[in-house]
């Protein structure tokens, strides 16, 4: 088991916590992480790109010139893809890009991503957020005290309106609950901040 410090808002050690090896000691397999991240990004695609083929473009109902005798190539419509203002060949049409990855693989990838963050020293266990009312200034000061730089991911055991409202104006900070935790957001974050309660909830969700 990996042991990490529990710190207060001033980044001072107040206790220690043993992280369960079942979650924070799993192997980080690159092909599994890739498959899950690819699935997540595919699900975010709107798939609304649309082009018009030769049968959908306005106009082109009349044959441009007679079949023979002009010396020019045969043409049946002015909306051929080869012509200006013609249709598009093999253009995109609305579609659903999403695909599925087995639930066990998704959980395996999440455990691997969390393990990678522990090994990189990119996890802080915060004793308590201690925010009494929404305040962007207080949240910014708290993160500065923890030495947070770059993209920061706050992982809460459950929804907390005070924390969410305090962080929503900070572009580099993202707030998620344990049940909303995902591989993509874990990997892109430079620092993960959890609470002891959040680690406990994580164990209940991810331990096989």
CATH code of the domain in which 177 resides: 3.40.1370.10
Predicted confidence (pLDDT) per residue in 94-121, tens digit: 999 999 999 999 999 999 999 999 999 8
| Domain final residue pick, 71, 91, 111 | 91
**More confidently predicted of 207 and 31:** 31
Whether 37 and 184 have beta carbons less than 8 Å apart is answered as yes
pLDDT value at residue 20: 87
Give the global pTM. 0.83
Predicted confidence (pLDDT) per residue in 16-46, tens digit: 888 888 889 889 899 999 999 999 999 999 9
Q: Are residues 58 and 147 in the same domain?
A: no
Cα–Cα distance, 208 to 186 (Å, whole number): 20
Domain that holds residue 67: 51-91
Q: Are residues 22 and 107 in the same domain?
A: yes
Q: For all residues of the chain together, what is the average pLDDT?
A: 92
pLDDT value at residue 13: 87
**Is pLDDT at 184 greater than 70 in this prediction?**
yes
Closest CA to 129 of 198, 202, 204, 201: 198
Q: Are residues 82 and 174 in the same domain?
A: no
**Is pLDDT at 67 greater than 70 in this prediction?**
yes
pLDDT value at residue 129: 82
**Is pLDDT at 9 greater than 90 in this prediction?**
no
Cα–Cα distance, 185 to 96 (Å, whole number): 22
Cα–Cα distance, 176 to 113 (Å, whole number): 16
Cα–Cα distance, 148 to 179 (Å, whole number): 23
Determine what percent of the chain is predicted with pLDDT higher than 90. Answer: 74
Question: Average of pLDDT values for 62-85?
Answer: 94
Q: Are residues 199 and 108 in the same domain?
A: yes
Q: Are residues 111 and 87 in the same domain?
A: no
Closest CA to 193 of 132, 107, 130, 134: 130
Q: Are residues 200 and 119 in the same domain?
A: yes
Q: Are residues 128 and 179 in the same domain?
A: yes
Closest CA to 148 of 178, 128, 117, 123: 123
pLDDT value at residue 37: 97
Q: Are residues 78 and 158 in the same domain?
A: no
Predicted confidence (pLDDT) per residue in 135-165, tens digit: 999 999 999 988 888 999 999 998 989 999 9
Q: Are residues 30 and 125 in the same domain?
A: yes
**Is pLDDT at 208 greater than 80 in this prediction?**
no
């Amino acid at each position: 088991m990996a042991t990490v410090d529990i710190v207060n808002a001033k980044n001072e050690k107040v206790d220690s916590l043993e992280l369960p090896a079942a979650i924070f000691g799993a192997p980080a397999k690159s092909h599994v992480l890739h498959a899950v991240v690819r699935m997540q990004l595919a699900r975010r695609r709107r798939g609304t790109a649309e082009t018009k083929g030769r049968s959908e473009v306005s106009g082109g109902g009349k044959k441009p010139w007679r079949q023979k005798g002009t010396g020019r190539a045969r043409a049946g419509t002015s909306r051929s893809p080869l012509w200006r203002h013609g249709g598009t060949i093999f253009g995109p049409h609305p579609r659903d890009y999403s695909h599925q990855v087995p639930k066990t693989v998704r959980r395996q990838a999440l455990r691997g991503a969390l393990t990678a963050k522990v090994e990189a020293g990119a996890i802080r266990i915060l004793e308590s957020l201690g925010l009494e009312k929404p305040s962007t200034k207080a949240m910014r000061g708290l993160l500065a005290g923890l030495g947070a730089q770059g993209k920061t991911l706050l992982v809460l055991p459950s929804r907390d309106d005070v924390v969410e409202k305090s962080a929503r104006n900070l572009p580099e900070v993202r707030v998620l609950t344990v049940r909303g935790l995902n591989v993509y957001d874990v990997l892109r974050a430079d620092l993960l901040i959890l609470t002891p309660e959040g680690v406990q909830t994580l164990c209940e969700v991810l331990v096989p």
